[in-house]
Amino acid sequence: MDSNVLAGAQLALPVQLPDHARFDNFVIGAGNLGERQSQLIAHLERLSQENVQSTLQYTAIFGERGRGKTHLLCALCERCAERGRTSIYLPLRDFVGTSAIDILQGLEHYDLIALDDVDSVSLDPKWAEALFALFNRVQDRRSGFLVLSAQGTAASLPMAFEDLRSRLQWATPFRLGAPTDSDKVKILRQHAQVRGLELSEGVAEFMVQRMPRDLHELMNALDRLDSASIEKQRRLTLPFVKEILAL
């Protein structure tokens, strides 16, 4: 999404949703992992609809770095916008050190609130109390939905305010599993295609095998290749990728 306007509601914060984050291009994987992650996407699709049950008012997505939490939260906000519902996405890691009360005040008026990286602020007493208060305001309104992400579960997260942990445990929990190397190849190629780049399966496999397996590192590498490809007017051949990434 190119602007700060989500479903008709203007954000007071400089947060933009990535254009590539959609449910249909999230690589869910195979086997039991794919089944669980398909269930999560179906759950999020329900939240983007107006007639969803109030028992689903809170959702928590857990998983280590690089599992796709941010992608899914942004995709959810995008789907809400398509359906004419107000939503807001906040990457809390970007607001560490700012006033929690100012950031979270009034969010309960959105149809959907997506809070990314709750664990980045959960040890800050002011943030923990402000998040607790937001849960209560959402609960009091009995409308709207709060979806959050964190690396650890509600039971394991470090917490400055234990009452916040009890609120997090209200949420329907989902855990994202680690993508396989094959999944990472698919993810790289999809993100390259969104950028208008042609990344062959062989070159993507080479990147996955030779670079850190963390998806954030792989996406950063793709950003570098994108810039270099534009600057040098080169295709993403294996020699070019080796040269730019020093592999």
Residues 157 and 209 grouped into a single domain: no
User: In angstroms, rounded to a whole number, what is the distance separating the alpha carbons of residues 87 and 84?
Assistant: 9
Residues 152 and 124 grouped into a single domain: yes
Q: What is residue 30's predicted lDDT score, i.e. its pLDDT?
A: 76
Q: What is residue 136's predicted lDDT score, i.e. its pLDDT?
A: 92
User: In angstroms, rounded to a whole number, what is the distance separating the alpha carbons of residues 159 and 124?
Assistant: 8
Q: What is residue 122's predicted lDDT score, i.e. its pLDDT?
A: 92
**How does pLDDT run along the chain (247 residues), one tens digit per residue?**
433 333 334 344 555 666 678 888 888 877 787 888 899 999 999 999 877 776 789 999 999 888 889 999 999 999 999 999 999 999 999 888 888 788 899 999 999 999 999 999 999 999 999 999 999 999 888 888 999 999 998 899 989 889 999 999 989 999 998 888 888 898 889 888 888 899 999 999 999 999 887 788 888 899 999 999 999 999 999 999 999 999 8
Residues 74 and 141 grouped into a single domain: yes
**Domain of 191?**
181-245
Q: What is residue 6's predicted lDDT score, i.e. its pLDDT?
A: 39
Residues 124 and 218 grouped into a single domain: no
- Global pTM reads 0.81
* Inter-CA distances, 186 with 99, 121, 197, Å: 39, 32, 14
Q: What is residue 118's predicted lDDT score, i.e. its pLDDT?
A: 95
**Which pair of tokens denotes residue 193?**
């295609």
Q: What is the CATH number of the domain that holds 98?
A: 3.40.50.300
Residue that finishes a domain, picked among 175, 207, 231: 175
Q: In the 8-state DSSP scheme, what is residue 104?
A: H
Q: What is residue 15's predicted lDDT score, i.e. its pLDDT?
A: 58
Residues 159 and 215 grouped into a single domain: no
| Torsion sign (Cα): 103, 105, 109, 115 | positive
Q: Are 44 and 114 in contact (CB under 8 A)?
A: no
Residues 169 and 194 grouped into a single domain: no
Residues 118 and 97 grouped into a single domain: yes
Q: What is residue 100's predicted lDDT score, i.e. its pLDDT?
A: 79
Residues 79 and 145 grouped into a single domain: yes
Going by their DSSP bridges, the two strands 5-6 and 9-10 should be labelled as: antiparallel
Q: In the 8-state DSSP scheme, what is residue 170?
A: T
Residues 156 and 51 grouped into a single domain: yes
Q: What is residue 17's predicted lDDT score, i.e. its pLDDT?
A: 64
Q: How buried is 60 (Cβ within 10 angstroms: 0-12 exposed, 13-18 middle, 19+ buried)?
A: buried
Residues 89 and 46 grouped into a single domain: yes
- Phi and psi angles of residue 232, each rounded to the nearest 5 degrees, phi first: -100, 0
Residue that finishes a domain, picked among 175, 200, 218: 175
Q: What is residue 27's predicted lDDT score, i.e. its pLDDT?
A: 83
Domain count, the chain: 2
Q: For residue 41, what are the contacts with CB-CB under 8 A and spacing of at least 6?
A: 23, 26, 28, 72
Residues 77 and 186 grouped into a single domain: no
